[in-house]
Amino acid sequence: MDIQNIRAFLAVSETASFSRAAERLHLTQPAISKRIQSMEQFLDISLFDRIGKSVQLTEAGQALIPGYRRILDELEESERIISNLRQTTRGHLRFATSHHIGLHRLPAVLRQFAKAYPEVDLELQFMDSEQACQQVLHGDIELGIVTLPTQADERLSLQTVWHDPMHCVVAADHPLAANEKISRKQLLAQPSILPSTGTYTRALINRALQLDEQTSILMETNYLETIKAMVQTGIGWGVIPDSMLDDSLQVIEMKTIKMQRELGVVFHKARTRSSAANALLQLLSKDN
């Protein structure tokens, strides 16, 4: 049943007039008559008795009024809910981030978000970037704020928020720290502490430094903070982001080698984003 036909039926029943119903709905009288005729043909019953200029509901017409009014009331309530959702950011937002981004990039953004949108219930999960992308793909979470893959599933959308330069580093008192120029061969001859195999960050390092089976790897970990702590002990070199550098470390400069991760948001192309997700994306876009 067409909603516009129901509106016409109720307008005629309430005004007892086709012409007044037409005025109320800003239609012509023939248009109103056509809609009522369409309903009567669909239901195979007369809804109004037309006696001279008088229009009266039939018994069938009377029986339809309560149900049709409920339909319009529920439709109007749904429209009000959607309108409120457009105007007010509320609800539940389930998203994930990596430990590094959660520690070094997100706190200020989340403080702003919590202050601006107190009616949003945030559910933040910490996980590896690779796992977060899979959960977005499967619909388990709405957003992933992660290290972006260089090659992603075509069903995912990637939005860069932060450029994240990466550097080879050693402890300030490591033997390599005294050398002004270090070759790739010299660096790879030393033990290393690196991100785990299979991570987006490790793939970036592998490509940039051309790591192979001969590379001496003392330890692999998904936590960049652990890599930094181990490098500070002087047992080997590692790769960490620009944001984690301090006086305890010496950057190893190699002219031909540059590494940079892209950090940002992953979401599913086919999923309609919630108002809370859009609000968080807007804040993140201002943070880059």
| Domains of the chain (ranges, CATH numbers) | 3-87 (1.10.10.10), 91-161+263-287 (3.40.190.10), 164-260 (3.40.190.290)
Report pLDDT for 275.
85
Please tell me the distance from the alpha carbon of residue 134 to that of residue 157, in angstroms, as a whole number: 13
Residue at token pair 């119903």 = 21
Checking phi first, is residue 145 left (phi over 0); if not, alpha (psi -120 to 50) or beta? beta
**What are the tokens at 161?**
């928020």
pTM: 0.71
Contact 30, 40 (CB under 8 A): no
Contact assessment for residue 138 and residue 271, using Cβ atoms and an 8 Å cutoff: no
Tens of each residue's pLDDT in the chain, 288 residues: 689 999 999 999 999 999 999 998 999 999 999 999 999 999 999 999 988 778 899 999 999 999 998 998 888 878 767 766 666 677 889 999 999 999 999 999 999 999 999 989 999 999 999 999 999 999 999 999 999 998 889 999 999 999 999 999 999 999 899 887 888 888 998 999 999 999 999 999 999 999 988 888 999 999 999 999 999 999 999 999 999 999 999 999 887 888 999 999 999 998 888 889 999 999 999 876
Longest Cα–Cα distance in the chain: 107
| Paired tokens of 130 | 């690779």
